[in-house]
Amino acid sequence: MSRKYFGTDGVRGRVGEHPITPEFALKLGYAAGKILVADSELPKGERPAVLIGKDTRISGYLLEAALESGFAAAGVDVSLVGPLPTPGVAYLTRALRLQAGVVISASHNPYDDNGIKFFSADGMKLPDAVERAIEAELDKPMGCVASWQLGRARRIDDARGRYIEFCKSTFPNELNLRGLKLAVDCAHGAAYHVAPDVFHELGAEVTKIGCQPNGININELVGATHPQTVAEVAQEQKADLGLALDGDGDRIIMTDSQGNLYDGDQLLYVMVRHRLTRGQAVAGVVGTLMSNLALEHALAQLKVPFTRAQVGDRYVLEKLLECGWLLGGENSGHLLCLDKHSTGDGIIAALQVLAALKEQAVSPEALLGTLCLYPQTLIGVEMQKGFSWQTHPAILAAVQEVEQTLAGRGRVLLRASGTEPKLRVMVEGEDAQLVRQQAERLAEVAQEAIQSGKKP
């Protein structure tokens, strides 16, 4: 059964439009409370509790209040932490032994979007089955427990400090960041009062970027979706490295002092090579359908198994757990190190790369060895919900023609975005000009098909 509201990363959309409305958030809180915690095995008399965190969007206040009311109506206590990176909410949910964690964020989207996503008690994204159960509960009338059973709310004042110390604990005790000058871009998002302190307290000299949120400037020409900003600052400030997080702090893109960018595929490869250099076994790595083919080939040379999951860090996590592996991620910068954290964490992933740089005393380029990513062009085409692109004759014919043109020297991938109303068109291959040309051609065919509204 397909999910009605949940995408690859929770419920997301434009604020004020269904489902991102106060009415829906209220009912979602109630439904989630019923499903996630009603059956929790708690000692008699102990009330179930959840944690709610958010990024810096102005709409976070509205959705936070509605969710809090919904949980209270279901008889669930709520702990509020205010702005905190998504992985920080996952950590505190687990550390405080709560029944669930909730993050109000639309990650890399513009400020007038927002979303709601959940973590289970073990700090991991909810499985599809649980999200379907919540959706089924949403179809039922909302109720309210008796007054004496209503949930209460409290604020956790030291959440930021707890998470900072947790991030630092994942960095080797024998190392420090002294002598490194870092440009740290927090995208005016949830990590603005966390990430700079983590790196500074480990010894680095930090130049802050995107650390002045005003409710409407999140991701605006800064952060992981606009890494050129941190690259320019790193060059101007003669920083050793630039680190760009996204709005909710769970993805990382890096740049060196020359402005060269390093995406998730490259950073994941650095982590793998570093562990192998230290004599640690790497049982295997999980990527996604979007992971660069060059990463797969480079890992094969290291004799490290590689497999692909659906796009979305939650699917990477599911595949890692299925295989019993520790390392995985997406080229967008969602990177998972399951021996460090239960979910993708931009700060912790950056610390693993910085540990490799400090321990091996080489440049980021040297850490990549022979890995050279194949040119990849990704184009987003606006698409109405319900359009059957998978079976549209014109799109299928165009895909076949592009594959014939690439002649085995590349690949084509079309997929519906899980966070935006778009069809993602990706072409990858050895020839950059050919890849760009074919991606644009395929996107043009898809756009014409979608606009015409013709169904197969």
Structure letter (DSSP) for residue 291: S
Instruction: Compute CA 365 distance to the chain's CA centroid, rounded to the nearest angstrom.
Output: 25
246 and 199 within one domain? yes
Strand ranges of the sheet holding 376-382, from the earlier edge strand across to the other edge: 376-382, 422-429, 410-416
Last residue of a domain, one of 259, 286, 317: 259
The upper half-sphere exposure of residue 280, i.e. CA atoms within 13 Å in the direction of its Cβ, equals 12
Is 357 part of any domain?
Answer: no
Taking residue 392's Cβ as centre, other Cβ atoms within 10 Å add up to: 19
Q: Are residues 18 and 151 in the same domain?
A: yes
pLDDT, position 454: 47
CA angle, 102 then 243 then 208, to 5°: 90
User: Comparing C-alpha atoms, which of 244, 157, 241, 160 is closest to residue 194?
Assistant: 160
- Sign of the Cα pseudo-torsion (296, 333, 123, 105, in order): negative
Is the domain of 35 the same as that of 140?
A: yes
User: Among candidates 295, 296, 328, 294, which has minimal Cα distance to 309?
Assistant: 328
Other C-beta atoms within 10 Å of 415: how many?
17
Tokens linked to 324: 């019993």
Which is more confidently placed, 370 or 123?
123
pLDDT over threshold 80, residue 298:
yes
- Rounded to an integer, what distance in angstroms lies between the CA atom of residue 72 and that of residue 29? 8
Average pLDDT estimate for 139-166? 96
| Residue ending a domain, choose from 133, 157, 181 | 157
For residues 404 and 342, state if they share a domain: no
- Residue 1 confidence (pLDDT) above 50: no
Residue 25 lies in a domain: yes
Is residue 351 in some structural domain?
Answer: no
Task: Look up tokens 């699917």; give the residue.
Answer: 315
Write out the E strands in 389-438: 410-416, 422-429
The range of the structural domain enclosing residue 24 comes to 11-157
- CATH of residue 27's domain is 3.40.120.10
CA distance 309 to 289: 6
Q: Summarize pLDDT for 373-401 with one digit per residue, the tens.
A: 999 999 999 998 889 999 999 999 999 99
Residue 94 lies in a domain: yes
pLDDT for residue 47:
86
Q: For residues 159 and 203, what is the distance between their CA atoms, to the nearest angstrom?
A: 22
pLDDT in the model for residue 38: 66
| Model pLDDT for residues 411-450, shown as the tens digit of each residue | 999 999 877 789 999 999 989 999 999 999 999 999 999 9
Calpha distance 233→92 (Å, rounded): 33
Q: Which residues are catalytic?
A: 107
Structure tokens at 316: 């990477």
Tell me the three state secondary structure of residue 231.
Answer: helix
Whether residue 93 lies inside any domain: the answer is: yes
pLDDT of 2 reads 58
pLDDT greater than 80 at residue 456: no
Which pair of structure tokens corresponds to residue 292? 């660069």
DSSP codes of every residue in 197-214: HHHHHTT-EEEEES----
Angle made by CA atoms 213, 218, 223, in degrees to the nearest 5: 105
Q: Are residues 173 and 153 in the same domain?
A: no
Looking at residue 369, its pLDDT comes to: 83
**Are 15 and 152 members of one domain?**
yes
Dump the DSSP string for 2-56. Answer: --SS-BBTBEEEETTSTTSSHHHHHHHHHHHIIIIITT----TTPPPEEEEEE-S
Place of tokens 């190392």: 175
Domain count, the chain: 4
In a domain, 56, yes or no: yes
135: nearest Cα among 154, 122, 116, 159 = 116
Residue 173 and residue 153 share a domain = no
**130 token code pair:** 């649980």
Q: 170 and 152, same structural domain?
A: no
Lowest mean pLDDT among 5-9, 97-101, 317-321, 331-335: 5-9
Which residues make beta-bridge pairs with 425? 379, 414
In this model, does residue 99 exceed pLDDT 50? yes
Query: Could you give the C-alpha distances from 438 to 38, 294, 381, in angstroms and in order?
Result: 52, 19, 15
Identify the CATH number of the domain in which residue 424 sits. 3.30.310.50
Residues 116 and 213 in one domain: no
d(CA 439, CA 436): 5
pLDDT at residue 129 is higher than 90: no
The mean predicted confidence, pLDDT, of the chain is 94
Output the pLDDT for position 39.
Answer: 63
Q: Which two tokens stand for residue 124?
A: 């991991």
Q: Vertex 65, ends 62 and 67: CA angle to 5°? A: 105
pLDDT in tens, 170-199: 999 999 999 999 999 999 999 999 999 999
CB atoms within 10 A of CB 440: 14
Q: Based on the fold, state whether residues 105 and 35 are members of the same structural domain.
A: yes
Contact 442, 422 (CB under 8 A): no
Backbone angles phi, psi at 373, to 5 degrees: -65, 145
2-58 confidence digits (pLDDT tens): 568 998 789 999 999 999 999 999 999 999 999 987 666 777 778 899 999 999 999
Going from the C-alpha of 279 to that of each of 348, 362, 439, the distances in angstroms are 21, 18, 41
**Distance of CA 11 to CAs 5, 324, 386, Å?**
6, 28, 17
Domain membership flag for residue 114: yes
The residue from 259, 278, 293 where one domain ends is 259
3-state secondary structure of 290: coil
- CA distances, 241 to each of 259, 323, 329 (Å): 9, 34, 21
In a domain, 202, yes or no: yes
Do residues 226 and 292 both lie within one domain? Answer: no
Is 118 in the same domain as 250?
no
